[in-house]
Amino acid sequence: MPDPLPDPLPLGRAVVDRDAASRAEAGLLERLRADPAARALLVSGPELAVRPGGEPALLLVPPARLDPQGELAYLGRDGDAGYVSWTPPDGVSLATAVAALADDDHEPAADADAEIVTLRDAGHLLDARDAGLATCAVALAQWRRTHTHCPRCGAEVEVAEAGWSTRCPADGSSHYPRTDPAVIMAVHDAADRLLLARSVAWPERRRSVLAGFVEAGEGLEAAVRREVAEEVGLDVGPVAYAGAQPWPFPASLMVGFHAWVVGPDGEPADAPTPDGVEITHAEWYSRQDLRDAVGSGAVGLPMRTSIARALIEAWYGSELPD
Ligand SMILES: [Zn+2]
């Protein structure tokens, strides 16, 4: 069996109490906006403001310092400190918002060097508290950006429950953030090789494990078997759950599996047949093959924030170089 995945995975870490019970409190966001002990992180879609360094940290500021036209969402509390996310008003970039902070009268030196990063690139470098806050904030921000109108009648919705739902003023319906499950699977054969493939949208040298969205009315194991058959033409036998993490780009929950292609006599599996539509290359790799391919630069692996990287390294048995 492959090694267990890290638990939690980089974006699955959660330290701050989400305090869901307080979301319905009337005026909660207005109180937090004025609370000098509260802290806001700055988020826009997948982007975040951080203080840079080898181990970057979220830029956290009292919400009163931020443009009241921006949108707040309640992320939870850690002791007495309430955390919110703040998204700039339409038409204002995160970089502009950060620059405005550096220019105001409060500790300009501390904010002047803030940088904009994406959660995808920096998530694994943040500590557990910041990674949990950032992942939650990005998920809510991505949802709000794309779900501005009621799916029933088309009216513009209003934010409710401190950022955790929206309500249609015309028909009274409530709407909640989406989470779309996707399966991602390390496919193994009887010779203990790992299947790596290139998706059509990726750089030429990038290789990773297969993945795909769970369809309506489909179970997770069935989705694993269907995706492997569709994308590389191989039949999967046993499937074992490995771990999961949110992947809010924009709304996925990546559910990881190990899956085995088993020949009739436990022989090495057939060569994969890429579908040519989603997958352009697919090959079986021994550990030596992968070590050589990564070492020579012929293969680039997925980023360390991803569950894909964790699945590959769980099979390999240790970390691989970038
Ligand atoms: Zn409506």
Measure the CA–CA gap between 170 and 179, rounded to whole angstroms. Answer: 25
**Ligand 1 centroid – CA 292 distance (Å):** 57
pLDDT over 80 (residue 102) = no
Measure the CA–CA gap between 83 and 193, rounded to whole angstroms. Answer: 45
Q: If pLDDT is split at 50, 70 and 90, which confidence band does 264 have? A: low
Dump pLDDT digits (tens) for 6-26. 999 999 999 999 999 999 999
Q: Cβ(130)–Cβ(83) under 8 Å?
A: no
> Over pLDDT 70: what percentage of the chain?
97
pLDDT over 90 (residue 104) = no
pLDDT of residue 122: 95
Lowest mean pLDDT: which of 22-36, 105-119, 134-148, 264-278? Answer: 105-119
- Residue 310 vs residues 85, 87, 118, 270, 294: alpha-carbon distances, Å: 28, 31, 19, 25, 16
**Ligand 1 centroid – CA 164 distance (Å):** 17
Pinpoint the residues of the chain covered by CATH 3.90.79.10: 180-316
Pinpoint the residues of the chain covered by CATH 3.90.79.20: 20-175
When the candidates are 2.40.160.100, 3.40.50.720, 3.20.20.70, 3.90.79.20, the CATH number that belongs to 20-175 is 3.90.79.20
Dump pLDDT digits (tens) for 136-168. 999 999 999 999 999 999 999 999 999 999 999
pLDDT of residue 266: 76
pLDDT over 80 (residue 232) = yes
Q: If pLDDT is split at 50, 70 and 90, which confidence band does 107 have? A: low
180-316 — its CATH code?
A: 3.90.79.10
**Ligand 1 centroid – CA 160 distance (Å):** 14
pLDDT over 90 (residue 268) = no
Rounded to an integer, the average pLDDT of 186-195 is: 96
**Ligand 1 centroid – CA 172 distance (Å):** 7
pLDDT of residue 269: 87
**Ligand 1 centroid – CA 235 distance (Å):** 45
Rounded to an integer, the average pLDDT of 39-52 is: 95
**Ligand 1 centroid – CA 256 distance (Å):** 36
pLDDT of residue 112: 67
**Ligand 1 centroid – CA 148 distance (Å):** 11
- The residues whose Cβ lies within 5 A of ligand 1, an ion, are 150, 152-153, 155, 168, 170-171
